[in-house]
Amino acid sequence: MDNIGAISYSSGAAVFVALFLLLLTGQRNRPHKHALMLAALVSALWLGVTAWLEITGRSPWLSYLLEPLRDLALLAFILRMLSAAYTVPREASRYFSQAVGVLGAYALVLIMLVLSRAMSDHPVSAPAGVDILLSAFLVMSIAGLVLVEQLIRNARAESRRSVKYLCMGLGALFVYDFYLYSSALLFHGVDPALWSARGFINALVVPVIGIAALRDPQWSLDIFVSRRVVFHTAALLGAGVYLLAMGFGGYVIREYGGTWGTIAQVIFLFGAVLMLSILLFSAQLRASLRVVINKHFFHYKFEYREEWLRFIKTLSTEEPTEQLREQSIKAIADILHCPGGLLWLYRESNRYELAASWQVAPPAHPCHLDADSALVRYLRDEEWVVNCDEFALSPQVYQGLDLPDWFDQIEHAWLITPLVFHDRLLGLVVLTRPQVEDSLNWEDYDLLRIVGRQSAAHLAQLEAAQALAHARQFEACSRLSAYVMHDLKNLIAQLSLVVSNAARHKNNPEFMEDTIQTVENSVNKMNRLLTHLRSGHDPAEKDLADVDVCELLREAIQTMSAGMPGPTLDCQATGLCVKAERDRLSAVVGHVVRNAQDATADTGWITVRLFKQNHQAVIEVQDNGSGMDDDFIRHSLFKPFTSTKGNSGMGIGAYETRELIRKLGGEVEVISRRGEGTTFRMRIPISAEVRSGVKSTDNTNNGQVHDYRLKETAGC
């Protein structure tokens, strides 16, 4: 078909006109929308003129003259969207004006090249035969691809839904232009088939751009410029320019190298790629590039969001351990790309001692700082970062500062950062000099002070966690000792009763037999208590076994029967077994019975019951003693070291009982009234192994202490 080019470009012009008319609808006070409308109008004009040239068979130079304007309009639209990264309107306008000015100057140069070609009818070529005009168009398409990449990469996650189709459409246009002109450079002329299909390609991408316009008709995209993306883009762009230059050099060597031309070209290109690899992995080159980007492309020196996320991630990757000190040094050093550092922390000896080092050898001699030294006073009072270079040149800037003698032993010491926590100097960090030094300003010092405070908070948390762990160890030891003393007190009370009755009943064989048995049981219990005390753990946490509750209650009642009034046992369910440590459970039952005896007159009564309810073994100790009020039960009964017995009580019996029952998966209930008595109820889950063997119907007590139940039989 002879007029395929005319049809192609006419279709593209019609579709861009439709896009322009679509953008005329809706709100018009949007700068992004106006820029896209202008780009659509210029694109439609360029495609329409090209279609007319195809129909009339005229020279395509007029199309080449309009193409730079079309590219400039599209690039200006992308720049208008990228300028949204600047929150200050003046900065956004300045960024847009400067960028469009540079591209406009380049478009003007391109137009002059087209006019020169049209008048001379001879291509303007470089010494190696490269067509400069085609190369210029190729560079324009590369610029478009770079800006599209910046747009999609710098868009925030919530904005990418709106911008992705726009970038797809514009990216497709520039990719096709790149393919068209790179092919023209390779084959020394534009391919007629590719040129004719260009109009259809433009028509195909317009619906994609239209989808983006429909998704966000206001074009209020949230864009930010990331330093990391700019860094990598600049590195890739530099690598591309480098490879392009090396390719041009290889082409020259091959053309003018004679018989050795091809071999010399291969050697040259291999060396160029090797050199590029060395440069890309050079830490010094990356640091220099980062400094240049921060100085010339951004208003602020740091990307604070990324810096803060990286800093917090470094400090919070794991639970607080000893490694947190090294992580704190690294987190601060990474801000200015320092290769290492040292950390001093305050100790109880009223001085600051070296606590950690990261990639730096610590001084050989002792290097502590007294709390009243000049450096500590300056950091505490001023809370300012000390620049060692500035201090060496102008010590008067740091009034009253004097560095210790051993400070010179720290190789490449550069900055001293205070770690302040609650207006108290917790420590300090010495950073070493980076490979590429940049001039420091207020941003560097303020950021170091902020991260110093945050690091101090994490280090203080570590110190507090370690102190808490030590305190818990002492607390466990103290609690265990208190429990042992409480048990010993009960054992001593039993032995005292034996001694007091020995004078009257020493000639009674039955009394002597009971005395020997009581002493033997007391000795065995004391030996077990000493074993638990030496092991340093809670005896309720191990040695758990099935315990027959009724049998245990009989033994406990027999042990406590020497006191007055003597308790009576009512096992309404037999064969109930619970998982517990026998001696501990027996001891807490004895505590409850002893408390009931202390609160009940000698003429009173104490009843110990056992029954089953809701898969639980329920132990009740009921008395008709003095009782307690509700306020005491709620606030004081289970509070450690609070007792109603004055100096004769330790106040941990009820607390120990509740803690043990809870560890066994149960709960404690207390029902009491002043002058009427108390019911102390302990609920413990029945062992799973014997739960199916207990044959009874669960009963509900509903708080009534005189609800007697049927006896149950089962075996452990």
Q: Which two tokens stand for residue 126?
A: 């470089």
Distance CA 400, CA 303 (A): 35
State the pLDDT at residue 314. Answer: 79
Q: Which helix (H) or strand (E) holds 475?
A: helix 442-505
Max alpha carbon distance in the chain (Å)?
A: 143
Distance CA 637, CA 630 (A): 10
**Could you tell me if 284 and 436 are in contact, meaning their C-beta atoms sit under 8 angstroms apart?**
yes
Q: Which helix (H) or strand (E) holds 457?
A: helix 442-505
Model confidence at 679: pLDDT above 90: yes
**Could you tell me if 295 and 231 are in contact, meaning their C-beta atoms sit under 8 angstroms apart?**
no
Among the ranges 378-392, 438-452, 519-533, 538-552, which has the highest mean pLDDT value? 378-392
H runs (alpha helix) in 83-131 = 89-120
Domain boundaries defined on the chain: 4-225, 226-299, 322-537, 543-716
Model confidence at 141: pLDDT above 70: yes
State the pLDDT at residue 371. Answer: 87
Q: Are strands 606-613 and 568-571 parallel, antiparallel or unpaired?
A: parallel
Model confidence at 54: pLDDT above 60: yes
- For the CA atoms of 386, 392, 397, 403, what is the dihedral angle to 10 degrees? 60
Residue 702: Cβ within 10 Å count: 6
Q: Which helix (H) or strand (E) holds 613?
A: strand 606-613
Mean pLDDT is lowest, of 252-256, 399-403, 493-497, 535-539, for 535-539
Q: Which two tokens stand for residue 196?
A: 């004719």
Class of domain 4-225: mainly alpha
Identify the residue with better confidence: 401 or 713: 401
Residue 388 neighbours by CB under 8 Å, 6+ apart: 403, 413, 414, 415, 416
Q: Per-residue confidence at 265, pLDDT binned at 50, 70, 90? A: low
The CATH architecture one would assign to domain 322-537 is 2-Layer Sandwich (3.30)
Mean pLDDT is lowest, of 275-289, 297-311, 518-532, for 275-289
Distance CA 342, CA 412 (A): 12
Owner of token pair 């609920």: 683
User: Shortest CA distance to 428 belongs to which of 471, 396, 367, 385?
Assistant: 385
* Phi, psi angle pair for 321, to nearest 5°: -135, -175
What average pLDDT does this structure show over 601-621?
A: 92
Q: Which helix (H) or strand (E) holds 229?
A: helix 227-256
State the pLDDT at residue 363. Answer: 79
Model confidence at 17: pLDDT above 60: yes
User: Shortest CA distance to 357 belongs to which of 413, 316, 311?
Assistant: 413
Distance CA 680, CA 678 (A): 6
State the pLDDT at residue 217. Answer: 46
H runs (alpha helix) in 281-414 = 283-296, 304-315, 324-333, 374-382, 388-393
User: Shortest CA distance to 617 belongs to which of 694, 684, 680?
Assistant: 684
Model confidence at 709: pLDDT above 60: no
What average pLDDT does this structure show over 440-457?
A: 85
Half-sphere exposure of 341 (CA within 13 A, CB side): 25
State the pLDDT at residue 517. Answer: 78
Mean pLDDT is lowest, of 53-67, 171-185, 203-217, for 203-217
State the pLDDT at residue 220. Answer: 41
What average pLDDT does this structure show over 329-336?
A: 87
Question: C-alpha angle 351/321/380, rounded to 5°?
Answer: 30
Domain 543-716 has CATH 3.30.300.90: no
Q: What is the CA radius of gyration of the chain?
A: 44
